[in-house]
Chain A
């Protein structure tokens, strides 16, 4: 025993474990503070800014970046592009954890977690977009959980129930696409209730279309980004099929993302033309709008296209990170930066250090759970008992 202890300690005290351990402990302290002292004790939210970083980043960015689940599974199972099959399980897992953490993070904002089922089962606000978002996220999280279970059943050796769930794949995929179409767009439509608060360059009657279309390339970029990270840190868990298909996944998804991003730039310009907002482009807000649209959508779209044409994976991977940052910037612009733009600087919202710490805690929690599942279950490789069983 005395000889085993130093080895075991050496394995556990890796830089990853130490850093995540510290973040998780701080996060737990913040969680206790939030639920014992109230939301005012840990946030800078006020009556002007009732939604802050937890909605702008954890919820809006979390949902958009989890769109890789429906994009990958629909490409594979609805459009029959089986060459992307190896990307389905990592994408579904990312989406499942993304949505689970969105619901988890929502508790910090809403409080009183035991009342979470109320809007679904007790008091439905059927005329509210928030109800539609809540219902869709509730249903889609359930769909993603079921879509993820075959990996868990293969790991546990439950062949019979795994077979039943696999037979539901097409139905679940169609259900997932329908639900995603609904709530991705509704998250944008939420801000249409505040035309006097959101800057005209970001406010549009097409806001729901922008959110849905941008979620498509957000999901594709996130799958590429997540694959890059998996290649770096979980390479040893990938089988030959996954390794052989991964370049094709990155090139194909990069090409699709580039095309959708160009279309997105097009409909954003249409939005400017419909509302005749051109004169705002000459202001400081216009410069910031162009930083987002040109700097974080158009340029990564061009880099994606160069990567797809030249078969250059480095271009594709850099463009994927760039596009993910662009989505984060867009969601923060709509929900925080360009929201309440007319207020004096003293009344503007800046997240507190504890809000930022809670967000880092939630993202870290997602990384830790993803790593645990990917190390234990057949996510990046096919289980030897089920090869060619799909």
Chain B
């Protein structure tokens, strides 16, 4: 990606960051369930 303005850079990098954070918010609870689902065994 090529950027010509700070606004262009921030829009791109923040957009990707929010997508990554959304992915992490979904992934981490699922990972916790994966870690703990055999705790009662």
Contact = CB atoms under 8 A, between A and B. Distances in A.
Contact of A274 (B13, B24, B27, B32): B13
A305 interface: yes
A126 B14 CA distance: 34
Contacts of B17: 270, 273-274
Contacts of B36: 255
Interface residues of A, number: 15
Interface of B: 1, 9, 12-14, 16-17, 20-21, 24, 27-28, 31-32, 34-38
Contacts of A305: 31, 34-35
Given A262-B31, A266-B20, 20 more contacts: A258-B35, A259-B31, A259-B35, A262-B27, A262-B28, A266-B24, A266-B27, A269-B20, A270-B20, A270-B21, A273-B13, A273-B16, A273-B20, A274-B13, A275-B13, A276-B1, A276-B16, A309-B34, A309-B35, A309-B37
Contact of B13 (A255, A258, A276): A276
Contacts of B32: 259
Chain A contact residues: over half helix, strand or loop, or mixed? helix
B35 A263 contact: no
Contacts of B24: 263, 266, 269-270
Interface in A262-300: 262-263, 266, 269-270, 273-276
Interface of A: 255, 258-259, 262-263, 266, 269-270, 273-276, 305, 308-309
Contacts of B16: 273, 276
A308 B39 CA distance: 9
A262 B28 CA distance: 8
Nearest to B12: A276
A270 B24 CA distance: 9
A57 to B, nearest CB: 31
